[in-house]
Structure formats: structure tokens, C-alpha cells
């Protein structure tokens, strides 16, 4: 009898935006909904200045995570480059 081993590839995705502090240049990565839809202000952990996330977004991408059978992250890739605009129109 031959055992059949089926490998199930598990994946998860996260839409992220890259931010840059306009005062000191430190980079941050946040979920893009927080940046583009909430348009929140955050305080830079480096220089302490507050800045708007949407106005200081520099890049956006969909990250693809490969997950193992123990639900642990094994690998992360850029699945797709996305436009720096809100998904909602209006």
C-alpha cells in the first residue's frame, strides 16, 4: 500500500503602505486601510513629531504570507504592487 502525502499550501495576505516621517525620514509600515481610509495622524517614534499617514505614504503593496501546518509564517513575498489611493471612491 502506498501512502499519499498531500501538501496543502496555506496562504494569507496583507495590504500594506510604507510611510516616511517628513521630519526625520524614519520609515514605517502600516495596514493600508489605516493609512488610506482612516487618514490618521501618528507620532514618529524617532523624532516625536506628529504627521499624517496618507500625506506621507510612499508605497503600497499586497504581501503574501506562506503559512505552515502549525500556522507559523514561513515566507513573505510581494504579491502585487498597488496604487496609493483609497479603495473607496467619493
CA distance 30 to 24: 18
Per-residue model confidence (pLDDT) at position 90:
45
Please report whether residue 1 resides in a domain.
no
DSSP assignment string, 8-22 = PPEEEEEEEEEEE-T
pLDDT at 9: 79
Domain of residue 30, residue span: 10-81
- Helix/strand/coil for 56: helix
The reply to whether 15 falls in a domain is yes
Cell digits of residue 5: 502525502
In a domain, 35, yes or no: yes
> For the chain, what is the domain count?
1
Q: Please indicate, yes or no, if residue 52 is contained in any of the structural domains.
A: yes
> Does residue 89 lie in a domain region?
no
Provide the CA 21 distance to its chain's centre, in angstroms. 17
Would 88 be classed as within a structural domain?
Answer: no
Show pLDDT as tens, one digit a residue, over the chain (90 residues): 666 666 667 999 999 999 999 999 999 999 999 999 999 999 999 999 999 999 999 999 999 999 999 999 999 999 999 999 755 544
Amino acid at each position: 500500500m502506498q501512502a499519499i502525502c498531500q501538501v496543502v499550501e496555506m496562504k494569507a495576505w496583507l495590504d500594506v503602505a510604507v510611510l516616511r516621517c517628513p521630519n526625520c525620514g524614519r520609515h514605517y509600515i502600516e495596514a493600508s486601510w489605516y493609512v488610506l481610509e482612516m487618514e490618521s495622524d501618528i507620532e514618529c517614534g524617532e523624532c516625536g513629531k506628529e504627521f499624517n499617514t496618507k500625506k506621507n505614504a510612499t508605497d503600497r503593496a499586497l504581501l503574501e504570507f506562506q503559512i505552515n501546518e502549525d500556522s507559523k509564517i514561513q515566507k513573505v513575498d510581494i504579491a502585487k504592487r498597488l496604487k496609493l489611493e483609497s479603495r473607496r471612491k467619493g
